[in-house]
Chains A and B, each alone.
Chain A
Amino acid sequence: MAEPDPLTPPSDSLIADEAMALGEALPVVSALGVDETFYEKADNRWLEMWRSMVANKAALVSMFFIVFLAIVAIVGPYVTPYNPIETNMSNALKAPSAAHWFGTDQLGMDVFSRVVVGTRVSLTVGLLAVSIALTIGIALGAVSGYAGGRTDTIVMRLMDMMLAVPSILLAITLMAALGKGIDKAVVAIGLVSIPEYARLVRGQILSIKQNDYVAAARLAGNSDFRIIFRHVLPVAMSVIIVRATLGISAAILDTAALGFLGMGVQPPQAEWGDMLGRARGFIFQAPHTLLFPGLAITLTVLAFNLVGDGMRDALDPKSRIR
């Protein structure tokens, strides 16, 4: 046995309340709940989420791709090799070459330039449409979930009715009423995606409302408005943001669909879906006229989906176990 240490009473010992006074963060861990406790202990949820995203290769690559798209959307129109709306019939339907990287379309316009310029349209439409849907959806969902009762019934039945009609059909109907144009397309796509967000927010609020801290906020004398915005919505925010990210890709797809049907951007403005729609007659003669805008849509939508999935996985503690 080792020689015992000299008798030194632990003078700097901490008694109960002093130890607590130091505010030591020591979780009490139940045997089975071991993992949850540790996820809760993350210093910063967003930082933790970032770490988890970085570990997810697909999401990371997609994130870089989205950043790249954003840069293209901002500076693209100033650096295109050709004027994207300049026609040159003598040079129509040319295959990709050194001069025209993505070839030219049926009107002799440079496809590369048009795809680059189209990025701005697609991203803007995606973001704006989702913002409209989010703002109205959160308001409706929050009121509906928090108030409950008759308000809830009326709002949710209305949402159910909207969901019963295929969204693209509803958007087309709205466009028919509003008229053609990209601005109208944004409004139409935004409006038809409201129910999704309203339902999501309502569901979140219904479950968050059960927490005792919401009751505690009422006891503290908070108004209902303040309780929703300060105690309920912030907790639901992470889930909502994830859904919104996925929503952007849906909005981009919807824009492309409307463009394909010729109801979005009006020519000669460049928009991916519109490019597809106008080139579809030349699919066998000049497949590149469809390939590149189609690829742009696919990759963009895929990137947003992968980032959205990555965020969702990052927020779900169970999937974070390695």
Chain B
Amino acid sequence: MTEPLLSIRHLSKHFPVDTDLLGRTTSVLKAVDDLSLDIYPGETFGLVGESGCGKTTVGKMLVNLYRPTSGEILYGGRDLAKLTTSERRAYHREIQLIFQDPYSSLNPRMTVGDIVSEPIRVNRLLPPDKVDDRVSYLLNCVGLSANCKNRYAHEFSGGQRQRIGIARALAMEPKLIVCDEPVSALDVSIQAQVLNLLSDLSDQFGLTYLFIAHGLNVVKHVSDRVGVMYLGRLVEVAEKRELYRNPVHPYTKALLSAIPVTNPAHRRERILLEGTVASPIDPPPGCRFCSRCYAKPEGAGGCDSEMPELVEVSPGHFVSCHLFAAEEGDQEMRALHEEAR
């Protein structure tokens, strides 16, 4: 197997919520908790989860907008935290972000040309006389004409603004682009245009994507592999087709079943979750999904006291659930799970 382009190892991000009189943290929000995953060159990795699950925080840590509390981000085999300043600058160039909100992500006081050329000028990627041609080229790549350059972002619609944001990310000649819900603010008919553009660009420039989304339907179309997050933890990772055919984590199943579909033939039996969502602030020990889980065994077993490990249930398919604990002695649990199925 090829070397991963990016490896995340035991990554955590905790935000202090409350401090005592002496300024010591008494309460933390565990936005991301002990997350590990690999992203291989050329693939699109879909990261899915509902609001507050920490998926955006992961994206922001990759592009260094947030500093991890602990854990490593290995890019090309080297730990980001241990890079020298100049190496870090190169790293930054190679990982870019596409924002969710096409309205707040473009500076209202700058022309489109300035927005797209800024990364090139600031990093002196090209001699000044070549910049203009490059900007025209990039705008053409995202389906905009070069004469948009002198206009301001507010003159464009949401879909066009998202294209401008993509052109700005491409200006840095990145290898990996973190797409943070790039289409969730757009209309359905425009979503398709932007998704297709992203997949064309990945072929054209050999890009790797980390595609963050809140629903499994968009990710289904663009991803090669998919990871599902719940309250800061990765609960299931698998190759796309495998995940959609054979979801094993109870949360993934509920998430899949909750997607409203237009074709009655593809409707799954809906799993309605009960119970309240656990808070990411000072979360209880044990599985984060425990409070809403419908498949946990009678008496909850270890679910409410022990954090399940991520284990491989079939090649390339990982899940973090006590029903699939690694130990051999857990046959009983598996049997229970089979019943639940």
Whether the complex brings A and B within 8 Å at their CB atoms is answered yes
Could you say which residues of chain A place their CB within 8 Å of the CB of B140? 21
- How many angstroms from the CA of A211 to the CA of B109 in the assembled complex? 13
Interface contact B160-A20, CB-CB below 8 Å: yes
- How many angstroms from the CA of A220 to the CA of B173 in the assembled complex? 11
Could you say which residues of chain B place their CB within 8 Å of the CB of A10? none
A248 to chain B minimum Cβ distance, whole angstroms, is: 25
Check A16 for interface membership: any CB of B closer than 8 A.
yes
Sample 20 A-B pairs with CB under 8 A, ordered by A number.
A16-B143, A20-B143, A21-B140, A23-B147, A23-B148, A23-B160, A25-B156, A27-B156, A27-B157, A28-B190, A210-B104, A215-B97, A216-B99, A218-B65, A219-B97, A219-B172, A220-B122, A221-B122, A226-B122, A231-B107
For chain A, the count of residues having a C-beta within 8 Å of the partner chain is 28
Interface residues of A in 8-47 (CB under 8 A from B): 16-17, 20-23, 25-28, 40-41
Closest to B172 in A: A220
Could you say which residues of chain B place their CB within 8 Å of the CB of A21? 140, 143-145
Question: Quick one: CB contact mask for B147-173 with A, threshold 8 Å, 1 for yes?
Answer: 110010011111110010100100010
Q: Ordered nearest first, which 7 A-B pairs have the shortest CB separation?
A: A212-B105, A25-B155, A220-B119, A23-B148, A21-B145, A40-B154, A212-B99
- How many angstroms from the CA of A20 to the CA of B190 in the assembled complex? 12
* Majority secondary structure of chain A interface residues (helix, strand, loop or mixed): helix
- How many angstroms from the CA of A300 to the CA of B184 in the assembled complex? 52
Interface contact A221-B155, CB-CB below 8 Å: no
Check B132 for interface membership: any CB of A closer than 8 A.
no
Check B288 for interface membership: any CB of A closer than 8 A.
no
- How many angstroms from the CA of A73 to the CA of B273 in the assembled complex? 75
Interface contact A219-B65, CB-CB below 8 Å: yes
Interface contact B122-A25, CB-CB below 8 Å: no
Q: A216 is contacted by which of B93, B105, B108, B156 (Cβ under 8 Å)?
A: B105
Interface contact B97-A41, CB-CB below 8 Å: no
Interface contact A41-B99, CB-CB below 8 Å: no
Interface contact B63-A235, CB-CB below 8 Å: no
Knowing A25-B151, A221-B89 are in contact, say whether A215-B65 is a contact too (CB < 8 A).
yes
Interface contact A23-B144, CB-CB below 8 Å: yes
Interface contact A213-B105, CB-CB below 8 Å: yes
Interface residues of A (CB under 8 A from B): 16-17, 20-23, 25-28, 40-41, 210-213, 215-222, 226, 231, 234-235
- How many angstroms from the CA of A41 to the CA of B119 in the assembled complex? 26
- How many angstroms from the CA of A8 to the CA of B206 in the assembled complex? 42
Check B187 for interface membership: any CB of A closer than 8 A.
yes
- How many angstroms from the CA of A248 to the CA of B65 in the assembled complex? 40
Check B96 for interface membership: any CB of A closer than 8 A.
yes
- How many angstroms from the CA of A40 to the CA of B102 in the assembled complex? 14
Knowing A23-B147, A220-B172, A235-B108 are in contact, say whether A28-B187 is a contact too (CB < 8 A).
yes
Check B337 for interface membership: any CB of A closer than 8 A.
no
Could you say which residues of chain A place their CB within 8 Å of the CB of B193? 16
- How many angstroms from the CA of A16 to the CA of B192 in the assembled complex? 12
Q: A22 is contacted by which of B93, B145, B154 (Cβ under 8 Å)?
A: B145
- How many angstroms from the CA of A206 to the CA of B123 in the assembled complex? 27
Could you say which residues of chain A place their CB within 8 Å of the CB of B292? none
Could you say which residues of chain B place their CB within 8 Å of the CB of A28? 157-159, 187, 190
Could you say which residues of chain B place their CB within 8 Å of the CB of A235? 107-109
Check B106 for interface membership: any CB of A closer than 8 A.
yes
Check B92 for interface membership: any CB of A closer than 8 A.
yes
- How many angstroms from the CA of A20 to the CA of B142 in the assembled complex? 10
Check B118 for interface membership: any CB of A closer than 8 A.
yes
- How many angstroms from the CA of A25 to the CA of B148 in the assembled complex? 10
A93 to chain B minimum Cβ distance, whole angstroms, is: 57
Check B101 for interface membership: any CB of A closer than 8 A.
yes
- How many angstroms from the CA of A2 to the CA of B29 in the assembled complex? 69
A224 to chain B minimum Cβ distance, whole angstroms, is: 13
A247 to chain B minimum Cβ distance, whole angstroms, is: 23
- How many angstroms from the CA of A231 to the CA of B107 in the assembled complex? 7
Interface residues of B in 37-70 (CB under 8 A from A): 60, 63, 65
Could you say which residues of chain A place their CB within 8 Å of the CB of B122? 220-222, 226
B200 to chain A minimum Cβ distance, whole angstroms, is: 11
Interface contact A41-B118, CB-CB below 8 Å: no
Closest to A216 in B: B105
A261 to chain B minimum Cβ distance, whole angstroms, is: 43
Question: Quick one: CB contact mask for B80-107 with A, threshold 8 Å, 1 for yes?
Answer: 0000000001001100110111001111
B108 to chain A minimum Cβ distance, whole angstroms, is: 7
B243 to chain A minimum Cβ distance, whole angstroms, is: 30
Interface contact B107-A219, CB-CB below 8 Å: no
- How many angstroms from the CA of A212 to the CA of B115 in the assembled complex? 13
A18 to chain B minimum Cβ distance, whole angstroms, is: 9
Could you say which residues of chain A place their CB within 8 Å of the CB of B99? 212, 215-216
Knowing A23-B148, A219-B96, A222-B122 are in contact, say whether A41-B104 is a contact too (CB < 8 A).
no
B301 to chain A minimum Cβ distance, whole angstroms, is: 43
Could you say which residues of chain A place their CB within 8 Å of the CB of B106? 213, 216
Interface contact B109-A234, CB-CB below 8 Å: yes
Closest to A233 in B: B109
